[in-house]
């Protein structure tokens, strides 16, 4: 997965610090499951992980 900003492509490993890599991988795999099965709560989980990033 890549992040595109101003026509420059950055790998995700450059954007996210090392302590956040595991959560990003877990969230990415969990999002695929919730998208297919339409489970409720993925937005709350994503918001929590984003807030956790700012606490550190």
Query: Which sign does the torsion angle of CA 40, 44, 45, 47 carry?
Result: positive
Residue extents of the structural domains in the chain: 16-55
User: Helix (H, G, I), strand (E, B), or coil: what is residue 11?
Assistant: strand
pLDDT reported for residue 5: 44
How far apart CA 31 and CA 18 sit, in angstroms, is: 20
DSSP-assigned letter for residue 38: T
What is the tens place of the pLDDT at every residue in 16-47? 555 555 555 666 555 555 555 555 556 666 66
**Contacts by residues 44-52 (CB-CB < 8 Å, ≥ 24 positions apart):** 49/23, 52/23
pLDDT reported for residue 49: 67
Q: Which two tokens stand for residue 20?
A: 């956040």
pTM over 0.85: no
């Amino acid at each position: 997965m890549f992040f595109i900003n101003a026509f420059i492509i950055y790998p995700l490993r450059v954007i996210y610090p090392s302590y956040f890599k595991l959560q990003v991988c877990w969230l990415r795999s969990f999002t695929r499951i919730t998208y297919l099965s339409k489970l409720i709560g993925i937005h709350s989980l994503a918001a929590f992980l984003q807030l956790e990033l700012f606490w550190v």
